[in-house]
Amino acid sequence: MRKINILKAIVDLLWIFSMPIVLIIIGFSIAIFFVDLGDLNIKINSIGLNTDTLFSKTLLVVSTLNYLLIIAALYFFKKVLNHFVRVKIFEETVISSFKKAGNLLLISGIISFTISIINKVYFEQKISLEFGLNQHLVIICLGLFFLTLSEIFKIAKHQKQENDLTI
């Protein structure tokens, strides 16, 4: 039980620190179209984006808004941990929160992977094939893991209900 409390404290701390960042991301996403940021060397996920063209500004906004998906997934994971601390493990809220967090992380990983490919092809004019572990694949795998957990908890809830009915 102590480990879950430590994990909950870490996630709560991340949640508290992410709230001001959400406001900054939203403000930055709006300001990028009205303020000239050509002098700034902006990098998101180690991708340097040129803010001169409308296409690059749009990619930059999509990249920043992609972080909001991760923060929303963090919120649903926070809900799951709150139920775990109260030992309400097989509730429908836990299952749906795992599913929502998994879908958000999966979408976020696919978006960031797509932006990475567009950056390589469009901005750097490179086509390369790299093998290895990168942050985009980790986010996609984490999303699939949460979706798997959702299915496992759904099966376990059904088994628990059948077991409770058995005398």
Reported as a single tens digit per residue, the pLDDT across 25-49 is 788 777 777 776 666 666 665 555 5
Question: What is the structure's pLDDT at 145?
Answer: 96
Decide: residue 68, CB within 10 A, 0-12 exposed, 13-18 middle, 19+ buried: middle
Question: What is the structure's pLDDT at 45?
Answer: 55
What percentage of the chain's residues is helix, strand, coil (to nearest 5)?
75, 5, 20
Phi, psi of 101 (to 5 degrees): -65, -40
Between CA 78 and CA 102 the distance in angstroms is 13
Along the chain (167 residues), what's the average pLDDT of each consecutive run of 10 residues? 90 92 81 68 59 74 87 95 91 95 96 86 74 85 96 93 80
Reported as a single tens digit per residue, the pLDDT across 45-71 is 555 556 667 777 788 788 888 889 999
Q: What is the mean pLDDT of the chain?
A: 85
Phi, psi of 47 (to 5 degrees): -110, 115
Q: Is the Cβ–Cβ distance between 154 and 95 less than 8 Å?
A: yes
Predicted structure pTM score: 0.83
Question: What is the distance, to the nearest Å, from the Cα of residue 37 to the centroid of all Cα atoms in its chain?
Answer: 26
